[in-house]
Structure 1
Amino acid sequence: METTRRAMMAGALMAATAATLPQPAGQSLGNVARRRGIAFGTAMSRRAVAQDPAYASLVASQSTIMVPENELKWYAIRPDPTTIDYSAADDLLDWAEENRLAIRGHNLLWQVERRIPEWQKSFDFGPDPKRTARQMMVEHIERTCRRYASRIQSWDVVNEAIDPADGSLRTTSFSKAFGDSGEMVDLAFHLAKENLPASTELVYNDFMNWEPSNEKHRAGVLRLLEGFRKRNVPVHALGIQGHLGGGGTTGNTSGVGGFGAHDERAWRDFLDAVTAMNYRLLITEFDVNDRFAVAPVAERDAQIAAYAKAFLDVSLSYPQLHSVLLWGMSDNHTWLRGSGSGPRADGLPKRPCPYDDRLQPKPLREALIDALAAAPLRS
């Protein structure tokens, strides 16, 4: 029955994405990136594939890789203590493979209290909570890794374990039951290694960047990465989310084009330190939050493009950076218009993506093209 259901769903998704839309003149983002040895793509959802065939076609035409937006997160797979449901992830991976896209996994452990399943926050872990929590995590990671071992080439094993406020290791209801957040994070990577092919990339993923007030966050991530190496934890790469602009301030003039303050020297120092520890790099969730950009739409789009290109030019100058993924290809498919961020003061919709609501290219697309084309060739 499961095989039949998946075959029927895959056929429906293929029919949906058969609808095409006029593509912008010029090369696809994916092809430009591929010529430099870089994978390019975006997060994607099963709902977008099923309900917006034009968008699905755009994503497929511009990408060489994709990552499920929510479908592999713990709360999606395990909505309650007894349910285990991989159907949404299965359907989305089927669509990616039908469109010849490589696949990243996101994520096996999200170390943020508000992001763990609601049931986990009040779960009775019994008289030996550490044993129960450990068994729960082992079961989840083993089952998920083994299910997709041949289909997913890179995993965000642990997501956002560092508190940006002070650089400390976060705790959650789940890690409190486990008893030691650091031990739990290490175990997640060891479990992933044991249950995935040796070629699978194991990634620590976080949202530190080059903007003001990120100093403690960057320092905390460096301490975590240093600890992994000292303890021989199997971590291959740092995932840089690349959510830019959210910390900007109205009227800032120290950033590119008057939008988005940043510290390039500190960012280079951070990347130098990461790569010196022999970690690879990925940009995993790129977008530019224009909440604080004060300008007419056309000027705002230009500022976003300039700011993005400045960040990408620096980051892509490191040959260890091999993948760039967006967190939404068009403005009508961005998390930043939902609960992910506050509204703009003028009430206008945010425009953080390279395509607009009508799937037309914006200056950010050209900035991506230019930055990718100028990147050093990866071997």
Structure 2
Amino acid sequence: MPEVFLNPNFSPRPWGAPALARRGLLLAGSGLVLAGGRRAQAQDQRLPEAMRAMTGLGEVARARGISFGAAMLTQLLQRDPAYEAAFATEAAVIVPEWEGKFAALQPEEGRFDTAPLDAQLHWAQQRGRTLRGHALIWHESLPGWAERALAEGRDRALGVMAAHFDRVLNHARGQIRDWDVVNEPIATAGDRLRDTPWLRALGPDYIDIALRMARERDPTLRLVLNEYGFEEEVPEALLKRQQLLALLRGLLERKVPLDALGIQGHLHLSRPFNAASFAGFLAEVRALGLQVLVTELDIRETWDAPQEIAARDALVAERTYAFVSTALEGGARTVLSWGLSDRNSWLASTPAVAMGQGRVHRGLPLDDHGQRKPMWQALARAFRGGS
């Protein structure tokens, strides 16, 4: 799997009516239709209110003790009322898509910028929502100064990690109870730890060090190791499962604090999914005493998928239900998607994974115009326990 499978920083597009590619928008389940001209402009003012009146996935999931949420970008939250309304309607849990990463929080050594993260915290607290932390240690979010510092040796690297943890965890203490402490430590091939500046500076025990530091700074946190690429039934994924289980067992044998495995769930329709096989893996993780979370769900399509939207949506919904229902049966009680709308998905904005030629991945619950899709229905069905 290419490195661009990770989650990049990008400049997403707002939803509002002036940016729509078509002149009409039907908001599923609300009875509100937007047309062209002055009537559309007037009705657009009521769009967020109509969305808020709907029963969202967060409420559907909560009825069965499940938490549903999605990754959010502060810049869209602050400038796009329809984007904000979608999160207010659908998400009980918020994940900072960029705002909690190292480069966002400490772009220069010693200069911390928590304002974008604080904006999400404030929004969540006002609405009784939960914000979880993502991510303290990740090789893709390091600013240049930090990469240079890590190359200076072990003592310098330990100091950089400790200073970052001190400031961030102290700032978020009592507000964020759940952190992806180490993100994506295993190589894409699944046969070794990923070669990162942290690994080169501190060796394999950088994972132990990070988890211990996080526990020392806030003993009440749920500490999560977050990983991708092991969900489906292909050789590299099965290999990665074994490497991941070995890593988890080693951490626990060394008495390293760890509470949960984050299963990202960036799925590919081109790869087969075997529910029984995945359930067996989840059982092995749970037998270690760890919780499991789905943390970054979305689905990537392929060019050989049907051209018809309905057929493509049916395939995405089928995979969504199979994966999420298996995860829930395997003990997951948190399901998070990496965004809510196809319009703002990294799958649409990253050249290496975007489909191009006017075709967009339809791998999130809401489409390019904020309408609910069959994937939304598949999630609701899984949360309700339906077949």
Shorter chain as denominator, the TM-score bin is 0.7 to 0.9
For the residue of structure 1 that corresponds to 2:286, the secondary structure is helix
Correspondences of 1:10-89 after superposition (within 5 Å): 20-23=48-51, 27-89=55-117
Q: Distance in 2 between matches of 1:84 and 1:346?
A: 40
Q: Does 1:316 pair with 2:328?
A: yes
Q: Distance in 1 between matches of 2:150 and 2:237?
A: 36
Aligned to 1:367: 378
Aligned to 2:122: 94
Opposite residue 168 of structure 1, the aligned amino acid is: R
Q: Does 1:215 pair with 2:238?
A: yes
- Once the two structures are superposed, residues 273-330 of structure 1 have per-residue CA deviations (whole angstroms, 9 ceiling, x without a partner) of 1011011011011111123451111110111001110111111112x31111110111
Change (3 A) 1:124 1:329: closer
- Once the two structures are superposed, residues 14-46 of structure 1 have per-residue CA deviations (whole angstroms, 9 ceiling, x without a partner) of xxx997242398632111111111111101111
Aligned to 2:13: none
The runs of at least 4 aligned residues of structure 1 exceeding 4 Å deviation read none
Opposite residue 187 of structure 1, the aligned amino acid is: I
Q: Distance in 1 between matches of 2:80 and 2:302?
A: 26
Opposite residue 119 of structure 1, the aligned amino acid is: W
Q: Distance in 2 between matches of 1:346 and 1:274?
A: 41
Opposite residue 319 of structure 2, the aligned amino acid is: Y
Q: Does 1:137 pair with 2:151?
A: no
Opposite residue 65 of structure 1, the aligned amino acid is: V
Correspondences of 1:81-160 after superposition (within 5 Å): 81-110=109-138, 112=139, 114-123=140-149, 126=152, 129-160=153-184
Aligned to 1:329: 340
Q: Distance in 1 between matches of 2:52 and 2:381?
A: 15
- Once the two structures are superposed, residues 216-260 of structure 1 have per-residue CA deviations (whole angstroms, 9 ceiling, x without a partner) of 111111111101110011100000101111xx44xxxxxxxxxx4
1:197 Cα deviation from its structure 2 partner? 4.2
1:330–1:353 CA contact under 8 A, matched in 2: yes
Aligned to 2:256: 233
1:125 Cα deviation from its structure 2 partner? 5.0
Aligned to 2:313: 301
Report which stretch shifted further, 320-329 or 168-177.
168-177
For the residue of structure 2 that corresponds to 1:214, the secondary structure is helix
1:164–1:216 CA contact under 8 A, matched in 2: no
1:354–1:364 CA contact under 8 A, matched in 2: yes
Correspondences of 1:180-219 after superposition (within 5 Å): 180=203, 182-198=204-220, 200-207=221-228, 208-212=230-234, 213-219=236-242
Opposite residue 373 of structure 1, the aligned amino acid is: R
Q: Distance in 1 between matches of 2:106 and 2:248?
A: 29
1:317–1:375 CA contact under 8 A, matched in 2: no
2:101–2:141 CA contact under 8 A, matched in 1: no
Change (3 A) 1:18 1:60: farther
Change (3 A) 1:58 1:215: same
2:52–2:85 CA contact under 8 A, matched in 1: no
1:124 Cα deviation from its structure 2 partner? 7.2
Change (3 A) 1:331 1:18: same
For the residue of structure 1 that corresponds to 2:199, the secondary structure is helix
Q: Distance in 2 between matches of 1:100 and 1:24?
A: 15
Opposite residue 263 of structure 2, the aligned amino acid is: I
Q: Distance in 1 between matches of 2:336 and 2:352?
A: 20
Q: Does 1:277 pair with 2:288?
A: yes
Q: What is the aligned residue count?
A: 340
2:208–2:256 CA contact under 8 A, matched in 1: yes
Q: Distance in 1 between matches of 2:277 and 2:144?
A: 37
Q: Distance in 2 between matches of 1:217 and 1:63?
A: 30
Q: Distance in 1 between matches of 2:263 and 2:136?
A: 17
2:183–2:227 CA contact under 8 A, matched in 1: yes
Q: Which runs of 5 or more structure 1 residues have no equivalent in the other structure?
A: 1-16, 250-259
For the residue of structure 1 that corresponds to 2:132, the secondary structure is strand
Q: What is the root-mean-square deviation of aligned Cα atoms in Å?
A: 2.2
Q: Distance in 1 between matches of 2:293 and 2:233?
A: 18
- Once the two structures are superposed, residues 44-84 of structure 1 have per-residue CA deviations (whole angstroms, 9 ceiling, x without a partner) of 11111112111111111112111111101001112233432
For the residue of structure 2 that corresponds to 1:349, the secondary structure is coil
Change (3 A) 1:119 1:56: same
1:18–1:57 CA contact under 8 A, matched in 2: no
For the residue of structure 2 that corresponds to 1:239, the secondary structure is strand
Selected match of 1:267 from 278, 288, 305: 278
Q: Distance in 1 between matches of 2:161 and 2:119?
A: 24
Change (3 A) 1:26 1:55: closer
2:95–2:132 CA contact under 8 A, matched in 1: yes
For the residue of structure 1 that corresponds to 2:109, the secondary structure is coil
Change (3 A) 1:73 1:317: same
2:348–2:361 CA contact under 8 A, matched in 1: yes
Correspondences of 1:168-179 after superposition (within 5 Å): 168-178=192-202
2:233–2:274 CA contact under 8 A, matched in 1: yes
